[in-house]
Amino acid sequence: MTDQEPTAAPAGVPPNLTATYVSADRYGFLERDGARLRYACWNVPGTARGTVVVLTGRGEFIDKYATEVVGELLGRGYAVIAMDWRGQGLSDRPLADRNKGHIDNFATYVADLQLFLDKIVAPTAPRPILALCHSMGAHIVLRALAENGSGPFAAGLLVSPMTGLRREAMLRSVLMLMPEVPAVEERYLFGTGPFLLLAREFNSNFVTHDERRYCFTEEWYAADPRLTLGGPTLGWARQAVRSMTAALAPGVLERIELPLLLISAGQDRLIDSRTHGPVAARLRRGEHTTIAGAKHEVMMETDDLRALFWEAFDRLAKDVTGR
């Protein structure tokens, strides 16, 4: 483990985002199986109300959330700890082509998360500890809770959790036809490729109604090109559908004891939000709510829709902290 590793900090900050961006008090790397996993920690002045662990979606990175969300959490009195998943952000990439979003098995993500919780979160984070997870990150947390127990967490918010994909049946049919060999697994998933700014037309995006927040990604890529990531590989897609199948198998979700609030985006065109209600119903202490007007990235939405997210967060946090 390396603390305050200079290369774990962003190389630069986008000029347009300095007003709300909060640099971490500590950046570092964990190492597992020869790969470095980047993390960041923010302290809160005085006595913290608790800690929020931020776990992002596929293709995302710590600094995107440090642009606004981290500051909003600090303002509520919570310390914050975040990690870049293996293969994205400033964590090590598994393929020579850094643009390809790839993973060998989602069990690797689960093991990486467990190391992060054991080594960085559990030892020093002010209690209670809340998980705030988006999309793929929420799916990995569900698996980790089912397989490893609640760990240091007191509760969790799963925002647009990846429990089903739009057009998943077609994806599964195509994957069945593709041989499971490295030459195929390491290809881009059909319809995707390297990151191209020209392909990011706001008017056709699936993730937010807010153009300023939609541009966070490319602004950070310009400030630190190491963050840049393109589409997922066929291998990532294959492992994703296998992992969702495993997580939804009979008896798995029922093992989770942690209070969890699932937040659906009513206009999600990436995740199949119809799966969220049944998932919440199988959890011992699950709740489900929908933000009707939101696209996939609820925390990157317009102010009015984000206000609904923060109402849900504050409600759960009050239940956990008592204030």
Structural domain including 131 reads 2-321
Nearest-angstrom CA–CA distance, 65 and 290: 21
pLDDT digits (tens, 9 = 90+) for 131-144: 999 999 999 999 99
The answer to whether 183 and 296 are in contact (CB under 8 A) is no
**Local confidence band at 321 (pLDDT 50, 70, 90 cut-offs):** confident
Q: Which whole number is the average pLDDT over 27-45?
A: 96
pLDDT digits (tens, 9 = 90+) for 229-282: 999 999 999 999 999 999 999 999 999 999 999 999 999 999 999 999 999 999
CATH of the domain at 133: 3.40.50.1820
The tokens describing 73, both together, are 């959490």
Nearest-angstrom CA–CA distance, 106 and 110: 7
Q: How many domains does the chain have?
A: 1
pLDDT digits (tens, 9 = 90+) for 84-111: 999 999 999 999 999 999 999 999 999 9
Helix axes 106-116, 234-247, angle to 10 degrees: 70
Q: Is the pLDDT of residue 3 over 60?
A: no
**Bridge partners of 243?**
none
Q: Quote the pTM value.
A: 0.96
